[in-house]
Structure 1
Amino acid sequence: MLPWLFLVLVVTLVANQARELDWQEVRKAIRRYDAITLASAAGIAAVSYALYSCYDLLSRRYAGHRLPAGRVLAITFVSYAFNLNLGSLVGGVGFRLRLYSRLGLDQAQISRVLGFSVLTNWLGYLLLAGTVFVSGTVELPQDWKLGSTGLRWLGIALLAVAAAYLGLCAFSRRRSYTWRGHELALPSWPLALAQFALSACNWLAIACVLYVLFRQQLAFGTVVAVLMVSAVAGVVTHVPAGLGVLEAVFIGLLGWKFSRPELVATLVAYRAVYYLAPLTVAAALYAVLEWRARHLRVQ
């Protein structure tokens, strides 16, 4: 019930915020973006998508399949774009199942690819969020109940989980575990390190997109911290694209520093650059992948 209750809370909060917004001011704030700023944000977004697409290249090594790297990158890009906009069941799971199965991978291999990629994504989150929270450099609202000390303890906990995973991969003699009938195999420690590095760089790239769209008016560490909180909130609510959740978190944590129209304008620009523009490319690429897969099957 918790996700549903949280969703109701978020929807109520967003509705209240929307009624109080001066949408004319939001439009004016959006128009103030120049082409260079938007192009810079789009370029960094492209780097982020490229980094994320490499997750499945690591998964290819882990799962042991031999699909060409170009097709793996294309499938991951399409899955990520649809995942962000329509939710993980459609993008992260559905598109991978369809496209990989049409290229000859069985369900066990696809499950290993999917599980390893999801784990890679959140390992980088643990490392980056933990480091930022522990650093004590994050600017917080004065009335935020968790406080700087609580945030540091949360960061320590996140880093401890990340260290435990890396320790298992490096030193555990037992290399596989069974959970609910599924075998979970530990990767080698170099592969685990690659997971951390690749994912952390991707999360930093996402934060850079927001940092550019905020026109460097906000400390980069604060941008990272707020992004980390919004990512978890989006997962908890299961709202496709985190619609409303992202906005609620940013308004709640940064409303003391920026006007609401400025915040909403920034987030609208972010969604256009990081969500909608890549989705149009992914839709076209998906059509090409479907055509190629059908052509290969005919042959």
Structure 2
Amino acid sequence: MKPAARQAWAWFKRIAPWALAALVLSLVARQARTVDWPSVGQALQALSIAQLLAAGALALLSYGLYASFDLVGRRLTGHTLPVARTLRVAATSYAFNLNFGALVGGFGLRLRLYLRGGLSAPMVAQVIAHSMVTNWLGYLWVGGAVLLVAPPRLTGAWAQGELVLRATGVAMVALALAYLALCAASRRRELDWRGHTLALPGGRLAALQALLGGASWLLIGAIVWSLFGGRIDYHTVLGALLLAAVAGVITHVPAGLGVLEAVFVATLGARLPATEVLATVLAYRAAYYLMPLALALPAYAWSEAAERQRGGGSTVKAQPRPTNGI
């Protein structure tokens, strides 16, 4: 590729996500003007206290499960940061990640908190990478299973043939199985990609990654399903959630603002009035995005204050432990 073409491609890759996000937000804003918001408010008020409490409890449980992904990275990198502190860093970063984007929470804040604990930047990168692999490995097999067994029925511009969705499900499950097979059979315990090296877990740890990642998505689906009060079957709600997650990643809109709502309305609008779907998604946002953020903000502020009291430089080096790739 010629230098000019490379520069044009690099420019396009930087601009395209923001252009797509702007397009999505403009479409969402246009659609929002057509929503009967008073009816949405009435639907929100109709949610029972029991539903809201159940959603909140499931959200906290889900955050604890997601935070455990960083323990996989702890095992594979061999760092000795205490388990409790590792979980606290992961949960706090996840709340920031969901609400403010991956660069702020998933990378920036996580890097800051782990560096403060004595980890090196390359080691933090490994922990983040293993957490992402665990998350998307679970997505692959859970999403693939949903598309194979009960593909969502989309309407309008979202509509896809059932055969296409099932074929996509097969491909997703195949990718998940390929990763498990690679980890179980590879003699090298490292994976090289574009100059970066990622430690490969053994077969048992890879299977645990798949279990943790899948359980996380299943639990998040249970949060939304509980807020629907059983009016829509679980696998349909889960399918809508999985589609919304990918749409949010593709558009790069922080917190999937508007994208989450649009996908749920497109997927479930034929089953329930759009106002009730929107009310449920807003309640899900409060339980899974805003409530954990309300806990993470003071936790992070306390961490910053404690660090200033210590002088900002009294970290203990987290030395790696020997690992055997289990």
Q: Please confirm whether the aligned pair reaches a TM-score higher than 0.5, indicating the same fold.
A: yes
> Which residue pairs with 2:95 in the alignment?
81
Deviating runs (4+, > 6 A) in structure 1? none
Amino acid at match of 2:216: N
The answer to whether 1:154 aligns with 2:165 is no
Q: What is the CA-CA distance between 1:94 and the residue it aligns to?
A: 0.7
Secondary structure (helix, strand or coil) at the match of 1:183 reads: strand
Cα distance between partner residues in 2 of 1:219 and 1:198: 23
The answer to whether 1:140 aligns with 2:141 is no
Amino acid at match of 1:140: R
> Which residue pairs with 1:260 in the alignment?
274
> Which residue pairs with 1:109 in the alignment?
123
Q: Does the Cα contact within 8 Å between 2:140 and 2:175 map onto a contact in 1?
A: yes
> Which residue pairs with 2:6 in the alignment?
none
Amino acid at match of 1:188: G
Q: Does the Cα contact within 8 Å between 1:13 and 1:248 map onto a contact in 2?
A: no
Correspondence for 1:44 among 38, 51, 58: 58
Cα distance between partner residues in 1 of 2:116 and 2:19: 39
Cα distance between partner residues in 1 of 2:122 and 2:314: 24
Correspondence for 2:134 among 120, 123, 145: 120
> Which residue pairs with 2:5 in the alignment?
none
Q: Which runs of 5+ in 1 are unaligned?
A: none
Secondary structure (helix, strand or coil) at the match of 1:146 reads: coil
Cα distance between partner residues in 2 of 1:162 and 1:11: 32
The answer to whether 1:97 aligns with 2:111 is yes
Q: Does the Cα contact within 8 Å between 1:99 and 1:290 map onto a contact in 2?
A: no
The answer to whether 1:200 aligns with 2:214 is yes
Identity of paired residues, percent?
47
Secondary structure (helix, strand or coil) at the match of 2:261 reads: helix
Q: For 1:155-183, what per-residue CA distance to the aligned partner results, in whole angstroms no more than 9, with x for missing partners?
A: 00000100110000001123223322221
Cα distance between partner residues in 2 of 1:132 and 1:119: 20
Q: For 1:127-177, what per-residue CA distance to the aligned partner results, in whole angstroms no more than 9, with x for missing partners?
A: 100111111x24414655322221111000000100110000001123223
> Which residue pairs with 2:298 in the alignment?
284
Structure 1-normalised TM-score? 0.95
Paired residue total: 298
Amino acid at match of 2:252: H
Cα distance between partner residues in 1 of 2:284 and 2:168: 27
> Which residue pairs with 1:238 in the alignment?
252
Cα distance between partner residues in 2 of 1:251 and 1:162: 29
Q: Does the Cα contact within 8 Å between 2:152 and 2:240 map onto a contact in 1?
A: no
Cα distance between partner residues in 2 of 1:32 and 1:38: 11
Q: Does the Cα contact within 8 Å between 1:83 and 1:92 map onto a contact in 2?
A: yes
Correspondence for 1:22 among 25, 36, 39: 36
Secondary structure (helix, strand or coil) at the match of 2:118 reads: coil
Q: Does the Cα contact within 8 Å between 1:57 and 1:72 map onto a contact in 2?
A: yes
Structure 2-normalised TM-score? 0.87
Aligned residues: CA RMSD: 1.7
Secondary structure (helix, strand or coil) at the match of 1:20 reads: coil
Look at both structures and tell me which one has the larger radius of gyration over its CA atoms: 2
Q: Does the Cα contact within 8 Å between 2:76 and 2:199 map onto a contact in 1?
A: no
Q: What is the CA-CA distance between 1:33 and the residue it aligns to?
A: 1.1
Q: What is the CA-CA distance between 1:189 and the residue it aligns to?
A: 1.1
Q: Does the Cα contact within 8 Å between 2:97 and 2:103 map onto a contact in 1?
A: yes
Q: Which runs of 5+ in 2 are unaligned?
A: 1-11, 316-326
Cα distance between partner residues in 2 of 1:298 and 1:260: 54
